[in-house]
Every structure is written in structure tokens, then in C-alpha cells.
Amino acid sequence: MKFFVDTGEIDDIKDLAATGLLDGVTTNPSLIAKSGRNFLELIAEICGVVDGPVSAEVAATDYATMIKEAEKLAAIADNVAVKVPLTEDGLKVCKAMSDNGTMVNVTLCFSAGQAILAAKAGATFISPFVGRLDDICQNGLELIADICQIYSMYPEFDTEVLVASVRNPTHIIESAKMGADVVTCPPSVIKQLYKHPLTDKGLAAFVDDWKKTGQSIL
């Protein structure tokens, strides 16, 4: 499973990139607004830090404007994945851009039917939103299972399942068990994967026992 970080904070991206765990970055208008940065400049900077796909989302909702925005975003760097909404016009943009060799991330997916349409339109990634379905008392992970099963039955579908709106480590682990290709989540959720009380307890015991030896490695 590939790990993408969902943030517009360049310092967090650099920190995670240094661990070797980071395979890509996703952004959205809300994250860009939170960062306070110029959108185009920020995407260019992120693309210089991360070798993998960097999702940059169009702001328009109509085809004519979206395609112009998509072309401008794609020109920033070769690793830009243009992000479009799962709407009729969004899928038209997806088809046009993917036919030209540009990576496309189709976002705001909430049903398996929508995921089928995105794959047929040539999406590089489909982003089903797990947490937002959980928020309305639907099981977001069931959607991941459905999409993974459907895609596995059609070899002509090259679209990768990019699990989005991730709220906790369980979302990551369960999605991995289902065979999802990618997960994108805030830095805080990725860092939660490090944590286990037995790890902390064991390390504390090792440190204490080492002190008792009176030795130093350096």
C-alpha cells in the first residue's frame, strides 16, 4: 500500500518525506486555504520535495473552465495529478487529461457506481471518502471493499483505489487488508501508526536496564 499525506503544510511534507514512508501528496481547496499559501507556488514546491504524485484540484465546476485549469496545473510538474470532482463535467475533464498522459485523481466518490464511471473515464486514482460516509452512519469501509472487488474483476481497469477522508489507523489497516492501492491521510494519523503501549513500555524497560549497566556506546 502506498502512503500519501493529505496536507498543504510544506514542513509536514518534508518531515514525512525524510522518513522514506511518503509516496505522494494530496491537497484540496480547504487545505490550501488553511495553509495561507499561493496555490500554484505551493504545488510547485511540493512537487520539488516529493517524487510521487501530487494532487492539485481544479476550482471550477464547468467543463470549459475546468479543462483550462487542469492544463495549467498539469504544466507545473510531471508528477502533478490533476484532481477533479466526480461529476459529469469532471469525468469529461478526466477523460481528456488522461488521454493526454496526465495523471487524474477523481475525488468525492461515495458509491461503487461512481467508481465504475471514474475507471471507465481513465482515472489514475479514485478517491472514495471513508470518514464522511461514517459521519452519516454509513460504513465507509464497505465502499472500499466493494470498489476493490469490482476493480479486481476487470483487468482493463487501471484505476488505483485511493482511500480518502481517513480518520484513524483502523481505516488504514482495514483498507490495506481489502487490497486498496493507496491511502491518504493527515500527518497525525500516519504518526499514530507508530504508537503502541507495549512498544512504549518495552522501550522504557530497555532504557532503564541499559542505564543499570553503566555503559555507553559512544
Phi then psi for residue 6, to 5 deg, are -100, 90
Residues 15-33 have pLDDT tens digits of 999 999 999 999 999 999 9
Residue 78: the pLDDT is: 97
Residue 163: the pLDDT is: 98
d(C-alpha 61, C-alpha 123), whole Å: 17
Q: Which residues pair with 55 in a beta bridge?
A: 26, 81
Residues 143-200 have pLDDT tens digits of 999 999 999 999 999 999 999 999 999 999 999 999 999 999 999 999 999 999 999 9
Q: What percent of the chain has pLDDT over 70?
A: 100
Q: Provide the CATH number for the domain formed by 2-213 in this structure.
A: 3.20.20.70
Q: How many residues does the structure list for the chain?
A: 218
Residues 173-189 have pLDDT tens digits of 999 999 999 999 999 99
Residue 98: the pLDDT is: 98
d(C-alpha 104, C-alpha 126), whole Å: 9
Could you count the other beta carbons within 10 Å of the beta carbon of residue 155?
7
Q: What is the mean pLDDT of the chain?
A: 97
Side chain identity at residue 53, one-letter code: P
Residues 127-139 have pLDDT tens digits of 999 999 999 999 9
Residue 53: the pLDDT is: 98
Give catalytic residues, as residue numbers. 83
Residue 68: the pLDDT is: 98
* Element holding 216 (H helix, E strand): none
Residue 67: the pLDDT is: 98
Extents of the domains making up the chain: 2-213
pTM attached to this predicted model? 0.94
The number of CA neighbours under 13 Å toward the Cβ of 212 is 6
Residues 102-131 have pLDDT tens digits of 999 999 999 999 999 999 999 999 999 999
Mean pLDDT for the stretch of residues 58-86: 98
